[in-house]
Amino acid sequence: MTQRAEGRTVAILAADGFEEVELTSPKEAIENAGGVALVVSPEDGEVKANRHREHGIKVPVDQKLDEAKAEDFDALLIPGGLFNPDALRVNQKALDFASAFFAQKKPVFSICHGPQVLISAGLVNGRKMTGFKAIQQDLKNAGAVVSDEPVVVDSGLVTSRNPDDLPAFNDKIVEELCEGKHQAQKQSVVA
């Protein structure tokens, strides 16, 4: 086991209805690389996963969103699922939290429907991205340059399509986490 990410801490922004494997698999990859992955949520106590459309496990919340600060973390992970992004994208504190990682030039990782949070935060214009097939047009409409690939990396922003792409997504998460800040990470490009 390599400890490449030792000393690095990732905030996993999640609400009820996240896709279980899109949180658990990257979390395991981060921890296997020596990093720490903490669940940050507007919820208190624990958040409930979905496995596709069925109920999944419950995951303990490590830190309430109200108390979380981007400067205390090295990177941000936003898992997908149908309900998680919907809850987060209408929560101003979640949008501000995500925006702070871009402002601080820290890596941001998002999979499946997770990029919808970044759309609502106004963070995708001009960025190379991918996402679940059903949201790719939404990404384009928000100004992203979209390609239908397993993983797309754009200066510290790592996006992926679905659980089938998790091996490649997890590899890029660890790689980008180890690289640290990206000076080219930006909030948005004005069209």
Residue 187 lies in a domain: no
Q: Which of 52, 55, 113, 178 is catalytic?
A: 113
Residue 107 maps to a domain: yes
Residue 58 lies in a domain: yes
Mean pLDDT, to the nearest integer, of 129-152? 97
pLDDT at 3 over 70: no
Task: Go through 123-138 and write b for each residue having 16 or more CB atoms within 10 A of its CB, e for each that does not.
Answer: bbbebbbbbbeebbeb
Q: 1-10, 28-37, 95-104: which has the minimum mean pLDDT?
A: 1-10
Is pLDDT at 191 greater than 70 in this prediction? Answer: no
- Given the residues 52, 112, 178, 182, the one annotated as active site: 112
**pLDDT value at residue 183:** 62
For 117, the domain range is: 9-179
Is a pLDDT exceeding 70 seen at residue 186?
A: no
Residue 54 lies in a domain: yes
Q: What is the dihedral of CA 78, 119, 65, 82, to 10 degrees?
A: -60
- Quick: pLDDT tens for 61-115: 999 999 999 999 999 999 999 899 999 999 999 999 999 999 999 999 999 999 9
Q: Is the pLDDT of residue 169 over 50?
A: yes
pTM value is: 0.92
Is residue 113 part of the annotated active site? The answer reads yes
Question: Annotated catalytic, 112?
Answer: yes
In a domain, 191, yes or no: no
Is residue 184 one of the residues assigned to a domain? no
What residues contact residue 185 under an 8 Å CB cut-off, 6+ apart? Answer: 102, 105, 106, 107, 108, 155, 156, 157
Tell me, yes or no, whether 2 lies in a domain. no
18: β partners? 49
Radius of gyration of the chain, Cα coordinates, nearest whole angstrom = 15
Q: Average pLDDT in the 16-25 region?
A: 96
> Which amino acid, residue 24?
T
CATH of the domain at 53: 3.40.50.880
In a domain, 190, yes or no: no
Output the average pLDDT for the chain. Answer: 92
Query: What is the domain count for the chain?
Result: 1
